[in-house]
A and B are shown apart, each in its own frame.
Chain A
Amino acid sequence: MTRDRGVHDIGGTQGWGKVPHSPDEPPFHNEWERRVLGLMFQVLRHTATRPGEMRYALERLAPDDYFDHGGYYGRWEAVMELLLEEYALLAPGELDVLLGAKEGTGPAHRASRVAPKDPHKLPADRKTPPPNHRTVRRELVDPPHFGVGDRVVALGANQEGHTRLPEYVTGVVGTVVKIHPAEVLPDSTAHDLGERPQHVICVGYRAEDLWGNESEAGVVVNVDLYENYLTAVEEAA
Chain B
Amino acid sequence: MKVRVTVNGVAHEREVEPRLLLSDFLRHEIGLTGTHVGCEHGVCGACTILWDGEPARACLAFAVQAEGHDIRTVESLAPAPGQLNALQQAFQDSHALQCGYCTPGILMTMTAFLAENPKPSEEEVRHALSGNLCRCTGYQHIVDAVLLAAERGA
A binds B: no
CB within 8 Å of A: which residues of B? none
